[in-house]
């Protein structure tokens, strides 16, 4: 009797394996099961809807192969599996036939359940998690329905390594947080691959969302989500899209072959890090965002823009590599952004600022683009320590812009101009290097600019050229080894001072017959032909009032210019200075016109580099020795009959029309449905 009692008691609560054969009821086995039982389904076809309300059950196929164990809804108006229990495992079966808004498997208020290695097809909803937590949906194949995996108000679930295709939506989360989506394939769906709406703090890692007719990954009204290592390839609209979803991390993803690769709309405080955005119209785009960081990305072959910011503020674009984009980095209506340490190559405009202000463009390299840095209708920007080389056209372009600063930039070997300013005023170009360009620094229809301390060497046509310009200060520059040094065509009231102008093959300083009221003083000229000033101009001055101060060749007074020649026969090299004040005893008469430098410099030493321009000097054109003129016949240049620079020719260099780069895409909130 004792042995029988022991045997009976030991069997209570012991898990058993219940075998189901075709023709038998899975639901009956569930109803009769106890906690811990395994219901093992033999290969075959089963037609029923199954409701599970008991905890701790396993329902699995005997073979582990879902292809040979098929469960079809007997009533398509109900879910195939309805689970309202905890610790349930459904594994290795095919599930099909749930109709409108019904699921192949629904977990309702369930905890710690596992849906593993199933084939779930032809259901409106494949796997549906509703108000459920800590569940795992692993290694399933889901196809041909409305939503493959639908997660609603469910948290801390794992959705891993599922293969999804042919659905309207692949994986769809609403009002859920703390979930992990990883290693899933959500491809070739009629709308979007993966959708998050009103979801926070979820992780999407190493998923693929390819060839969907809408978006690869669509995230709206969600915050603090982390996307890492995902691939969104060949989606019809966007690869990865955020709308009103801030404080997110988007890192090491691939967004390729779509209309837009990665797009953030009103989704600030986000990080876009180390992604690949390739072969899209727009690679990475931030619209109406703030305080976002776009760093370390590779952005290539995008035919509208590489990295673009529209109506955004306080962002950082840092250490990105951009290749062959129509616009490399483009800011439009965007302010207070830092563009730092980027490499932009072989595209259209490397860095473009449109209607944007208070931005810092620092330490960027632009090589082999159509243009290096292009600024239009913008103000209060600073371009510092950048390099623009081997551009097809120009290194820096400034159009219809004011109060910008360009400092310490290197602008070499560009097919057009090193720097090009058009209709722009009150800008400063300071301490830049412009060499081996067609033209070094070029201003047209621009006034009130400061061109200071620049090194402009070895340019094929002009070192510094001004056309139709008024009130600019050209001081402290080195304009040498070019065709023409400093060239003024139809220019008024500009100051040209303290420049080193040497070894230019055609002329040192040129003034057209329509250039009036300019002041030229304290320059060092050492060219075969130092000046070419056309008859007809009025009011130009070639010296200021004699003023105590160190002049450009080290003398004690500032007055006129130092007129040298490479062979040592220049006026300032041979003139006398009886009183030793560094001013010649006689005036220097410019050839071919009625102008004289009344206070030409002598003595001192040839400057070796650009020096600081003088300030606060009296710019009166009279000086001592006004009645004495000396004609130096070697100054006459019979070889040059330079005509004025034609304004229409200059304007043809670059149109200010931006229509070529407008996207035409309406950036408004787009519903996932």
Burial of 41 (0-12, 13-18, 19+ CB in 10 A): buried
**pLDDT higher than threshold 70 for residue 568:** yes
pLDDT value at residue 253: 98
Task: Give per-residue pLDDT as tens, 314-366.
Answer: 999 999 999 999 999 999 999 999 999 999 999 999 999 999 999 999 999 99
Classify residue 44 as left (phi > 0), alpha (psi -120 to 50) or beta.
Answer: left
Rounded distance between C-alpha atoms, residue 479 and residue 530, angstroms: 12
- Span of 116-125, 383-392, 646-655 with lowest mean pLDDT: 646-655
**pLDDT higher than threshold 50 for residue 2:** no
pLDDT value at residue 673: 55
**pLDDT higher than threshold 80 for residue 105:** yes
Rounded distance between C-alpha atoms, residue 342 and residue 381, angstroms: 17
**Are 561 and 521 in contact, with CB atoms under 8 Å apart?**
yes
| pLDDT confidence bin for 608, thresholds 50/70/90 | confident
What strands lie across the sheet with 629-631, from one edge to the other?
Answer: 596-597, 587-589, 629-631
pLDDT value at residue 672: 60
In three-state secondary structure terms, 318 is strand
Strand extents, DSSP E, 198-315: 203-205, 217-220, 226-228, 231-233, 238-243, 249-251, 254-256, 260-265, 271-273, 276-278, 282-287, 293-295, 298-300, 305-310
**What CA dihedral angle connects 492, 493, 497 and 502, to 10 degrees?**
10
Average pLDDT over residues 176-193: 97
**pLDDT higher than threshold 60 for residue 469:** yes
Burial of 57 (0-12, 13-18, 19+ CB in 10 A): buried
At 234, list the tokens.
């060949």
Rounded distance between C-alpha atoms, residue 164 and residue 143, angstroms: 6
- Span of 269-273, 410-414, 527-531, 630-634 with lowest mean pLDDT: 630-634
Cα within 13 Å of Cα(579), Cβ side: 9
Task: Give per-residue pLDDT as tens, 202-243.
Answer: 999 999 999 999 999 999 999 999 999 999 999 999 999 999
**Are 295 and 316 in contact, with CB atoms under 8 Å apart?**
yes
| pLDDT confidence bin for 623, thresholds 50/70/90 | very low
Phi, psi of 651 (to 5 degrees): -65, -25
**pLDDT higher than threshold 60 for residue 629:** no
Rounded distance between C-alpha atoms, residue 38 and residue 485, angstroms: 92
**Are 395 and 434 in contact, with CB atoms under 8 Å apart?**
yes
pLDDT value at residue 78: 97
**pLDDT higher than threshold 90 for residue 396:** yes
- Span of 18-22, 109-113, 488-492, 606-610 with lowest mean pLDDT: 606-610
**Are 530 and 542 in contact, with CB atoms under 8 Å apart?**
no
**pLDDT higher than threshold 50 for residue 376:** yes
- Span of 396-410, 507-521, 603-617 with lowest mean pLDDT: 603-617
Burial of 596 (0-12, 13-18, 19+ CB in 10 A): buried
Q: How far is CA 91 from CA 15, 139, 162, 349, 457, in A?
A: 18, 10, 13, 56, 76
| pLDDT confidence bin for 592, thresholds 50/70/90 | confident
Closest CA to 125 of 82, 183, 70, 177: 82
At 330, list the tokens.
């483009």
Average pLDDT over residues 40-57: 97
Rounded distance between C-alpha atoms, residue 331 and residue 309, angstroms: 5
Task: Give per-residue pLDDT as tens, 524-564.
Answer: 999 999 999 998 899 999 999 999 999 999 999 999 999 99
Task: Give per-residue pLDDT as tens, 410-453.
Answer: 999 999 999 999 999 999 999 999 999 999 999 999 999 999 99
Average pLDDT over residues 623-638: 30
| pLDDT confidence bin for 627, thresholds 50/70/90 | very low
Task: Give per-residue pLDDT as tens, 21-44.
Answer: 999 999 999 999 999 999 999 999
At 46, list the tokens.
């089963």
**Residue given tokens 């000097």 in the structure block:** 617
């Amino acid at each position: 009797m004792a042995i029988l009692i022991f045997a009976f008691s030991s069997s209570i609560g012991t898990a058993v394996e219940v075998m189901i054969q075709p023709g038998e009821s899975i639901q009956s086995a569930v109803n009769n099961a106890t906690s811990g039982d395994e219901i093992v389904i033999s290969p075959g076809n089963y037609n029923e809807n199954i409701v599970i309300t008991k905890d701790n059950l396993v329902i699995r196929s005997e073979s582990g192969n879902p292809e040979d164990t098929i469960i079809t809804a007997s009533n398509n108006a109900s879910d195939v599996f309805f689970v309202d229990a905890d610790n349930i495992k459904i594994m290795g079966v095919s599930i099909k036939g749930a109709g409108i808004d019904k699921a192949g498997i629904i977990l309702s208020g369930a905890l710690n359940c596992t849906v593993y290695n199933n084939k779930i097809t032809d259901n409106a909803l494949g796997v549906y998690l509703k108000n459920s937590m800590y569940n795992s949906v692993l290694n399933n194949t889901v196809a041909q329905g409305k939503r493959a995996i639908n997660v609603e108000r469910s948290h801390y679930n794992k959705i891993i390594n599922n293969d999804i295709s042919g659905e309207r939506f692949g994986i769809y989360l609403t009002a859920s947080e703390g979930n992990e989506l990883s290693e899933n394939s959500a491809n070739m769906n009629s709308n979007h691959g993966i959708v998050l709406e009103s979801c926070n703090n979820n992780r999407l890692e190493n998923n693929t969302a390819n060839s969907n007719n809408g978006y690869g990954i669509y995230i709206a009204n969600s915050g603090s989500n982390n996307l890492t290592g995902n691939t969104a390839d060949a989606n019809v609209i966007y690869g990865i899209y955020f709308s009103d979803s801030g404080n997110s991390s988007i890192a090491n993803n691939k967004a390729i072959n779509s209309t837009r690769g990665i797009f953030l709309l009103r989704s600030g405080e986000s990080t876009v890090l180390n992604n690949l955005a390739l072969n899209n119209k727009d690679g990475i785009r931030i619209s109406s965002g703030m305080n976002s960081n776009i760093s370390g990305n590779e952005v290539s072959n995008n035919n509208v823009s590489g990295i673009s910011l529209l109506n955004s503020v306080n962002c950082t674009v840092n250490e990105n590599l951009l290749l062959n984009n129509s616009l490399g980095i483009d800011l439009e209506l965007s302010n207070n952004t830092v563009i730092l340490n980027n490499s932009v190559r072989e595209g259209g405009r490397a860095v473009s600022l449109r209607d944007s202000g208070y931005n810092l463009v620092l330490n960027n390299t632009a090589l082999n683009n159509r243009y290096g840095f292009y600024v239009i209708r913008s103000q209060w920007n600073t371009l510092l320590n950048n390099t623009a080389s081997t551009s097809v056209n120009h290194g820096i372009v400034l159009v219809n812009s004011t109060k910008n600063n360009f400092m310490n930039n290197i602008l070499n070997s560009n097919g057009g101009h090193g720097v090009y300013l058009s209709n722009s005023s009150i800008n400063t170009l300071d301490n830049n290097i412009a060499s081996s360009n067609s033209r070094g620094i070029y201003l047209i229809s621009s006034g009130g600019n400061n061109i200071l301390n620049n090194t402009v060497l070895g340019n094929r046509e002009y070192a510094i050229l001004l056309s139709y310009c008024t009130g600019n200060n050209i001081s402290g520059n080195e304009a040498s080894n070019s065709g023409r040094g400093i060239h003024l065509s139809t220019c008024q009231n500009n100051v040209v001072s303290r420049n080193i102008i040497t070894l230019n093959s055609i002329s040192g300083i040129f003034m057209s017959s329509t250039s009036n009221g300019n002041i030229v003083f304290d320059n060092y000229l050492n060219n075969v032909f130092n000046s070419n000033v056309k008859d007809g101009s009025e009011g130009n001055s070639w010296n200021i009032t004699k003023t105590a101060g160190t002049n450009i060749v080290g003398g004690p007074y500032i007055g006129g210019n130092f007129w040298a020649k490479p062979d040592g026969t220049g006026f300032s090299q041979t003139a006398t200075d009886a009183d030793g004040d560094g001013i010649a005893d006689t005036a220097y008469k410019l050839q071919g016109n009625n102008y004289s430098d009344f206070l030409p410099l002598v003595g001192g030493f040839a400057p070796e580099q650009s020096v600081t321009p003088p300030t606060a000097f009296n710019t009166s054109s009279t000086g001592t020795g006004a009645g004495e003129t000396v004609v130096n016949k070697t100054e006459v240049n019979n070889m040059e009959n330079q005509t004025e620079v034609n304004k229409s020719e200059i304007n043809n260099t670059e149109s200010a029309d931006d229509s070529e780069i407008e996207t035409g895409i309406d950036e408004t909130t787009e519903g996932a449905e």
